[in-house]
Amino acid sequence: MSVVLVTPPLYKACEPLLGVATLKAYLQAHGVACATIDANAEAQDWLLAVERGDAAAERLAASATPAERTTRLTRAWPHLRKRLARHKAALRSPDTYADLDRYRTAVTSLNRAIGLVAAGHDAAHGSPVTATLTDYLDARYCDMDSASVLAAARAPETNLFHDYYVNDLVPRIVAMNPRVVGLSLIFRNQLLCGVALATLLRRALPDAHVTLGGELVSAWIDDLENTHLMELADSVIPYEGELPLLALGRGAPFPEVPNLCWRDADGALHKNPTRKVASLAEVPTPDFDDAPWHLYFAPERTAPIVSARGCYWNRCTFCPEVVNPESKLRIARGDDLARQLDAVHERHGVTLFHFIDSAMPAKALRAVAQHVIDHDRPYRWYGFSRLEPYLFADGFAETLYAGGCRMLKLGLETASQRLLDVMDKHQDIVDVGRILEALHAARVLVHGFIMFGTPLEEEDDAEATRAFVAEHADHVQFLNCSLMNLAKGSPMALDPPRHGVREVIPFEIPGHTLDLALYDNFRATGWGRQGARRFLQRRFLADPRVRPAYLRTAPQFDSNHSVFFHGLVFGDAAVPDTGAPTAPPPGEGR
C-alpha cells in the first residue's frame, strides 16, 4: 500500500470525513494505491465496549481514595452495562429521533460510559482525561501550546486510546507496509489523540513517511517555524492534499512535493510552493469504500459532499478565510455534482447527503434540487446557505423541498441591521424574515446560528435579535448560540479600531505559551462580552418563545443530527423543557 490516510479521534462519529475519501479517490485515479481508516469511529466503538467499562469499574473500585464523581460512575455501571448496547443502537434507530427524551437519554448514558472509562484510565495512568462523544481534553496538556502538545506526543501511553492504537490500529497499518501515512486533523479535539498516534506510527514504521494535514494544521502554517509542530511528524501538508500526497506516494524528492513543509538534514525548515487542483472537474467522486458505516451514530448512511471549495461570499469581517491567499473559489458544475450524488448512491446506498460547503452557491442549490426532481431520485440533503433574497422568491423554497432539501444551516448572527452592515453580511433583516417564513412554509428545517458579543454590539442590538428570533420562533427549529471570539487573521483582527475593537487581548493560561491559539479575547467599544454573556443566558435563552428551538437542538451532535428530527418538528411534537441551561450554550468557547 502506497498511502494510508487516518482520521484520529475524537469528534462526532456520525458520518465519514469527506477529505480522506476524496484524497483516496484522487490518488487511486492516478495509480497510487490508498486506504483510509476512520480511527475516530473505531476508537469510540472500542471505548464503548462492555469490557472497557468492566475494567474501569474494577480499577476504580480498588482505588484507595475514589472521588465522589467516580464513585457515582462505578455505582451506576451495573445498570448502564445492561443497557449499553441499547443506547448505542438508539442513536442508530430512526425511532429515537421521534422522541427527544429517548435521544437525550442515549447521549447522556453513552457519555457516562465514556466518563467511566476515562476515570479508570486516570486511575491507572494518572492522566486526567475528560472525554465525551464529541470532545477530548487532558488536564496534563494544553492543546493550544505546541510544547505541551509535544509532551503529549512523547508520552502516548497517557492517551485514552493508547491500547486501541498499539493492539489494533498500528499493527494493521504496519501490515499494510505503507510508504506514506497521513493523519487528517480537522478539529482541535483530535490534536492530542492524533499526535500520540503519530508517535506510535513513527516508532513502528521508521522507514515510512508520517505527515500531518487538514484544516487545523493549515490554520497554523504561517507561524510554523515558531511552534513545535514540525517535531510531531516527518512533514506537514497545509491546504489541499491531492497534489502533495500524489507526489509523496510516487516517491518524489521532498523539494518537488507541492505544499510540503519539511526539515532537511541540517534542520532547516522548508515551505514548498503551494499548488492545488485547478478545477473540481479534476477531482473524482469521493471513495467511501473503507467507511465503517455500521459504526456511525446516525439512523441512516449520510455522505458528506461539497459543491464548491472556498466561499463565494468571502467578505464576513469575523472570518479569517477572507484574507487567506490560498482560499480560491472553485464551484463544481451541476452535471458533475449530479454524477457524484448518483455514484455515491449506487455504490453505498446513501440517500442523505450533507453538503459541507461554507455556503452553497445558488446554482448548486438549484442544480441539486432540479436533478432530484427531473430524475426522480430518492435523495434528501442539507447544508449551509447564505441568507440571499432568492430563497424567498416565488416557488424557490418549494422547489428546494421537492428537490430533497430538508434543512438549511443559516448564519443569522444578529437581527441588528447596523451590525449586519458592519460585518459585511449583506443581509436585509426584513428579507431574512421572509426567507424564514418561506422555508417553513415549504417544510425546510432551519438550523440558525446566532452570535452575540461582536465588538460594536450594544444591548439594543441584542434585544433586536431576541425579538426577531421570538417573532420567528415557529420558523427557526434549531439554535446554535455563541459568544464571538476574535479570529486571528480576520479583517476584524487586522484592523481592530475600524470594527470596534479597543484592545486585542491574547488568551492566557498560566504556565503555557498559547502559540496554537486561533482566537484572541478583546475589549470592545460596545457593551462587551460580559454583558453579552448575561443577556444570552438570562434574557435570550430564558425567553419562552426562543427556548424550544434551543432545547430541541441535539446535545453534543448539534446540526449533524438536526436533520433527523424533521418528522418530529413538522409532526408538532412537544419539546420537553429540562430546566435552565447549566452549561455554556453550544458553540461557545472552544
User: Which residues sit opposite 484 in a β-bridge?
Assistant: none
Helix (H) or strand (E) holding 347: helix 334-348
Lowest mean pLDDT among 152-166, 315-329, 467-481, 574-588: 574-588
What residues have CB less than 8 Å from 139, skipping those under 6 apart? 128, 129, 130
What whole-number percentage of the chain has pLDDT above 70?
96
More confident residue, 228 or 572: 228
Percent of the chain clearing pLDDT 90 (strictly above): 89
At 265 the three-state DSSP class reads coil
> Which residues are bridge partners to 210 per DSSP?
181
Question: What is residue 484's DSSP assignment?
Answer: P
Q: Is the pLDDT of residue 581 over 60?
A: no
What whole-number distance in Å separates Cα of residue 350 and Cα of residue 282?
23
The backbone torsions φ and ψ at residue 349, rounded to the nearest 5 degrees and listed phi first, read: 70, 15
Mean pLDDT lowest among 15-19, 70-74, 361-365, 493-497: 70-74
Is the pLDDT at 166 greater than 60? The verdict is yes
3-state secondary structure 34-60: EEEECHHHHHHHHHCCHHHHHHHHHHH
DSSP 78: H
Reply yes or no on whether the pLDDT at 434 is more than 60.
Answer: yes
SS3 string, 511-538, reads CCCCCCCCEEEEEECCCHHHHHHHHHHH
Q: Could you tell me which CATH number the domain at 384-570 has? A: 3.30.750.200
Residue 364: closest CA among 285, 356, 23: 356
Predicted confidence at residue 552, as pLDDT, reads 94
Is residue 571 pLDDT above 90, yes or no? no
> For the chain, what is the mean pLDDT?
94
Confidence of residue 590 (pLDDT cuts 50, 70, 90): very low
- For residue 528 the three cell numbers come to 462587551
DSSP E strands, 394-500: 405-413, 445-452, 478-483, 486-487
User: Where do runs of H (alpha helix) occur along 155-282?
Assistant: 162-164, 170-176, 191-204, 215-218, 242-249
Angle in degrees, 0-180, between the axes of helices 100-125 and 68-90, rounded to the nearest 10: 130
pLDDT band at 321 (very low <50, low <70, confident <90, very high): confident
At residue 573, does pLDDT exceed 70? Answer: no
> Quick one: residue 38, left, alpha or beta (phi over 0 = left, psi -120 to 50 = alpha)?
beta
Provide the strand spans (E) within 372-476: 380-385, 405-413, 445-452
Beta-ladder partners of 384:
409
Rounded distance between C-alpha atoms, residue 286 and residue 355, angstroms: 13
CATH topology of domain 3-42+143-260: Rossmann fold (3.40.50)
Query: Is the confidence at residue 541, as pLDDT, over 60?
Result: yes
Question: In this model, does residue 477 exceed pLDDT 50?
Answer: yes
Give the pLDDT score at 63: 76
Q: What is the distance between the alpha carbons of residues 189 and 7, in angstroms, rounded to a whole number?
A: 12
Q: What is the pLDDT of residue 90?
A: 98
Rounded Cα gap, residues 227 and 514, in angstroms:
10
Cell of 376: 426522480
Quote helix, strand, coil % in the chain, to nearest 5. Answer: 45, 15, 40
Report whether pLDDT(583) > 50. no
The per-residue DSSP string of 438-456 comes to HHHHTT-EEEEEEEE--TT
pLDDT tens sequence across 35-49:
999 999 999 999 999
Q: What is the pLDDT of residues 235-264, one digit of tens each?
A: 999 999 999 999 999 999 999 999 999 999
Dihedral of the alpha carbons of 119, 123, 124, 128, in degrees to the nearest 10: 60
CA dist., res. 88 & res. 110, Å (int): 7
Burial of 79 (0-12, 13-18, 19+ CB in 10 A): exposed
Half-sphere exposure of 225 (CA within 13 A, CB side): 7
Question: Would you say how long the chain is, in residues?
Answer: 590
- The CA distance from 281 to 405, in Å, is 24
Sign of torsion, CA 120 126 127 128?
Answer: positive
Task: Give the whole-angstrom CA distance, residue 143 versus residue 190.
Answer: 10
Task: Evaluate if residue 588 carries a pLDDT over 60.
Answer: no
- Average pLDDT over every residue of 541-553: 97
Which residues, in sequence order, are bridge partners of residue 271?
Answer: 261
Report residue 209: phi and psi, to 5°.
-105, 115
Under the banding of pLDDT at 50, 70 and 90, the label for residue 65 is low
Cell numbers that stand for 106 in this block: 442515549
Instruction: Examine the pLDDT at 579 and tell me if it is beyond 50.
Output: no
- For 370-398, the pLDDT digits (tens) are 999 999 999 999 999 999 999 999 899 99
Task: Give the C-alpha distances (Å, rounded to integers) separating 151 from 10, 195, 327.
Answer: 19, 10, 32
Q: Where are the domains of the chain?
A: 3-42+143-260, 45-136, 384-570
